[in-house]
């Protein structure tokens, strides 16, 4: 799906400020503790966020100059950089996240209007317009703020972004061959999202924030219910 770039830029900036606030409240010992992502420490997750900022800067450079600048040199280098960075001191990690976020904000401001329509390839190798990069960063910041596991939740997201993210995620999951037919219905306002064949879909109802956590594979809320009383369907991973 395409996104409103002005909104995405605002969401990315707000997400960076939100994450920074969470990070600054972390005690030194909390960095080495596990986050909500299996097998990951908070130090590893925060290092990943910093390297993601570098990746977005590379894509903006590609769009602005026309010189192919991949998000990451390779999957192996990406993993090695995150692994190495996760063992730094909390002060170094905190400074890295803040500096790369600020550097990305400057790169965004330096983009000529014409460069936003350039085509680049994301980390998965898919062609995207440069105008989608702010959305990718906004998504990264708000989801990983929850993954940091220090009290943030999907309820913190700006409401319009929450609905856009649910649309984005359900569209992506819906393209997988093993996706069951599911229709999500928000008990907040009746908004719906469908994956698979609508005619045979299992209806899953619940608060929008809980639906989002479930499709992202982050949470299985007791507030979610199927209309026929069956267990929630098993969804394939989002990404």
CB count, 10 Å around CB of 112? 9
Written out in words, the top-level CATH class of the domain with range 160-226 is alpha beta
- Residue pair 41/88 in contact (Cβ under 8 Å)? The answer is no
pLDDT for residue 59: 98
Helices (H), the chain: 5-24, 42-65, 75-85, 90-109, 133-147, 159-174, 208-215
Domain ranges of the chain: 5-152, 160-226
pTM, full prediction: 0.94
Per DSSP, what are the bridge partners of residue 182? 195, 202
Beta-ladder partners of 226: 204
The domain 5-152 is placed in CATH, from the list 3.40.50.970, 2.40.160.20, 1.20.120.450, 1.10.150.530, at 1.20.120.450
Q: What are phi and psi of 216, to 5 degrees?
A: -80, -5
Structure-block tokens of residue 139: 């998504």
CB-based burial label for 220 (10 Å; 0-12, 13-18, 19+):
exposed
pLDDT of residue 21: 95
Q: What is the pLDDT of residues 126-173, one digit of tens each?
A: 999 999 999 999 999 999 999 999 999 999 999 999 999 999 999 999
Q: Which among 41, 201, 59 has a CA at the least distance from the CA of 121? A: 59
Q: How many CA atoms lie within 13 A of 141 on its CB side?
A: 33
Query: CA-to-CA distance for 77 and 197, rounded, in angstroms?
Result: 40
Please report which confidence band the pLDDT of residue 1 belongs to, taking 50, 70 and 90 as the band edges: low
Dump pLDDT digits (tens) for 91-105: 999 999 999 999 999
Residue 177: pLDDT band with limits 50, 70, 90: confident
Tell whether the model's pLDDT for residue 111 goes beyond 90: yes
Q: Are 142 and 160 in contact (CB under 8 A)?
A: no
Map tokens 């990983």 to a residue.
Answer: 144
Rg of the chain, C-alpha, whole Å: 18
The pLDDT of residue 226 is: 96
**Residues 67-96: pLDDT tens digits?**
999 999 998 999 999 999 999 999 999 999
Q: Which among 47, 9, 43 has a CA at the least distance from the CA of 28?
A: 43
């Amino acid at each position: 799906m395409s996104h409103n770039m002005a909104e995405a830029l605002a969401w990315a900036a707000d997400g960076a400020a939100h994450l920074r606030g969470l990070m600054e409240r972390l005690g030194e010992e909390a960095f080495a503790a596990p986050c909500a992502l299996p097998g990951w420490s908070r130090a590893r997750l925060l290092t990943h966020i910093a390297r993601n900022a570098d990746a977005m800067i590379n894509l903006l450079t590609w769009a602005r100059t026309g010189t192919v600048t991949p998000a990451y040199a390779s999957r192996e280098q990406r993993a090695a950089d995150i692994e190495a960075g996760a063992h730094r001191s909390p002060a170094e990690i905190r400074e890295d996240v803040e500096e790369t976020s600020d550097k990305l904000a400057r790169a965004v401001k330096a983009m000529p209007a014409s460069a936003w329509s350039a085509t680049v390839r994301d980390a998965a190798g898919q062609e995207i317009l440069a105008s989608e990069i702010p959305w990718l960063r906004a998504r990264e910041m708000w989801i990983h703020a929850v993954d940091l596991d220090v009290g943030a939740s999907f309820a913190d997201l700006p409401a319009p972004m929450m609905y856009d993210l649910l649309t984005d995620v359900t569209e992506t999951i819906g393209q997988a061959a093993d996706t069951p037919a599911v229709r999500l219905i928000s008990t907040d306002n009746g908004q719906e999202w469908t994956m698979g064949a609508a005619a045979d879909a299992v209806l899953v109802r619940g608060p929008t924030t809980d639906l989002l956590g479930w499709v992202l594979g982050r949470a299985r809320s007791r507030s979610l219910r199927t209309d026929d009383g069956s267990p929630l369907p098993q969804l394939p991973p989002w990404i």
